[in-house]
DNA sequence: CGCCGATATGACAATATTGTGACAAAAAAC
DNA sequence: GTTTTTTGTCACAATATTGTCATATCGGCG
């Protein structure tokens, strides 16, 4: 799952320099040479972050960013503005229209990579939830822990995610396919039987006190329920 | 280490009045005139407390606080809400979205400083530079030293900062990226694996008595916890 | 009972993640 | 300037996790 970077820059040499540097560091690069095509690529490819040149023929980078940041579908995509000028004023204007960071040419590829990385890191914060308790079984998302009557249980990462999903979606049957979607993500090809194995591992970790909570529904899937 | 206060207030005169008064009392002030730039400054500068105006053009203070308090990275930053109205109802709503205190205009700079101090004292004891002790492990912020049962430990500067961060944010998992943000700052380009190395150095320095405190959570990050 | 499909379980190799020692560059101390 | 400490990164080792399989067990049904 390498992050996708959309480069919007009219000058081909600069674009290619950036593209090369970034793909070397492990990003997937999408290029656009003007605002119009950028708009298209943005909607088609859903980049994780955009690097936009300030000065471009036609619609300027500023206008482009402003419109991107005013549409709900795209406003959350972080943007780094790039400009030749280093005026404090520009910086302010850039950030004003909603850019998340600002760089002046010339800059090193390394610096660009660094900023992208920093922004992705902080715009992707894990959301937290309050602890969930059911029948003396407590799951704390913050500390990433599960307690059975205050005794800590050892769960693997996947088992933790499954339990988290179950605890937040109780009393309802989910097929193996649905569980794969919710816990692993939609675009993953994994045998459905693998769910069985992880269910078993989860039950084992909950043994002996709480394994009745994870119930098999023959022909349908699994269910998390406090009712037997 | 003077506490950093982020002022979010659209009216410049009021903002400056507050800024002046607070910096006189020894705080570092960061100003923002709307929610968008406040968000940026918040992530860049990691303030210790925020003072947010209720009524602002664009995204209101209420919405801003709600979103701040729902993100793991920022939810623990205390917030004081400021409003022109003195309705009991407002107070309830303000505290409901997660604000830690509530003030009505007009207020004296002195009162503001007092409230900030009170909140910092109860939510961020380390800013008062008071030693922090946990399980016989004592960390003294002013002397920059750590003692295990009164025997001084040799920590490097970075290890000290990590431990300081951990001690003040216990019982909770932080990803390598979050630890980088908090300990190194948001704008550095450092390999996430570097955190591992420093964690190891920290553990080594705490060995043998206290290394169980720094726990690895596979697939998630690290956690400082007194519970096994 | 004996059959069938569905589910449980143990084992295992492939992967992924984390721990660790070494090292050179940078920073700080002298 | 030189020496010492600290820092970030790497390569490799040590572990833990993951997905899949083969096989056992189960549940229902004629």
Residue at a domain's end among B124, B150, B184: B124
Residues B38 and B109 in one domain: yes
At A166, which CATH number? Answer: 1.10.10.10
Cβ–Cβ of A143/B173 closer than 8 Å?
A: yes
Residue at a domain's end among A75, A102, A123: A123
B55 contact partners, CB below 8 Å, separation of at least 6: B10, B61, B83, B84
Residue at a domain's end among B104, B124, B144: B124
Residue B177 has pLDDT above 80, yes or no: yes
- Distance in angstroms between the alpha carbons of the first and the last residue of chain B: 32
Cβ atoms A65, A99 nearer than 8 A: yes
Residues B106 and B150 in one domain: no
Least confident stretch, A126-130, B81-85, B173-177, B194-198: A126-130
- In sequence order, the β-bridge partners of residue B55 are none
Interval B53-88: pLDDT, tens: 988 887 888 888 888 887 766 777 889 988 876 665
- Interface predicted TM-score (ipTM) of this complex, two decimals: 0.61
| Domain encompassing residue B13 | 4-124
Residues A144 and A112 in one domain: no
Residues A109 and A12 in one domain: yes
Q: Nearest nt (C1') to A204 (CA)?
A: C9
Q: Using 50, 70 and 90 to split pLDDT, how confident is the model at A127?
A: very low
On chain D, which bases lie within 7 A of the protein's CB atoms?
5-11, 16-22, 27-28
Report the pLDDT value the prediction gives residue A222, as an integer from 0 to 100.
96
Q: Report the domain count for chain B.
A: 2
Cβ atoms A76, B39 nearer than 8 A: no
At A79, which CATH number? Answer: 3.40.50.2300
Query: Which of A101, A139, A141, A142 to probe the B interface (max B CBs under 10 A)?
Result: A142
Residues B148 and B119 in one domain: no
Chain B residues 137-196 within 7 Å (CB) of strand C: 193, 196
Cβ–Cβ of B40/A114 closer than 8 Å?
A: no
Residues A88 and A142 in one domain: no
Residues B120 and B142 in one domain: no
Among B127, B137, B122, residue whose Cα is nearest residue B225: B137
CA atoms of B83 and B68, how far apart (whole Å): 18
Closest-CA distance of chain A to residue B73, Å = 6
């Amino acid at each position: 799952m390498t992050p996708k970077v959309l480069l919007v820059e009219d000058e081909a040499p600069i674009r290619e320099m950036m593209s090369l540097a970034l793909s070397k560091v492990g990003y997937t690069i999408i290029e656009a040479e003007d605002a119009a095509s950028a708009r298209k690529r943005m909607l088609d490819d859903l980049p994780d972050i955009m690097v936009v040149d300030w000065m471009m023929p036609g619609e300027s980078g500023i206008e482009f960013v402003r419109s991107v940041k005013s549409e709900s579908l795209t406003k959350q995509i972080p943007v780094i503005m790039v400009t030749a000028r280093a005026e404090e004023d520009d910086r302010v204007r850039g950030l004003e229209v909603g850019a998340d960071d600002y760089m002046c040419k010339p800059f090193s590829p390394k610096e660009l990579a660094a900023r992208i990385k920093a922004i992705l890191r902080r715009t992707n914060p894990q959301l937290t939830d309050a602890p969930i308790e059911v029948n003396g079984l407590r799951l704390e998302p913050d500390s990433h822990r599960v307690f059975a009557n205050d005794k800590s249980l050892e769960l693997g990462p996947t088992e933790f995610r499954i339990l988290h999903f179950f605890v937040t979606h109780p009393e309802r049957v989910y097929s193996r396919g649905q569980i794969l979607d919710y816990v692993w993500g939609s675009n993953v090809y994994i045998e459905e039987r693998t769910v069985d194995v992880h269910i078993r591992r989860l039950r084992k970790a909950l043994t002996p006190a709480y394994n009745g909570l994870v119930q098999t529904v023959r022909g349908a899937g699994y269910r998390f329920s406090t009712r037997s």
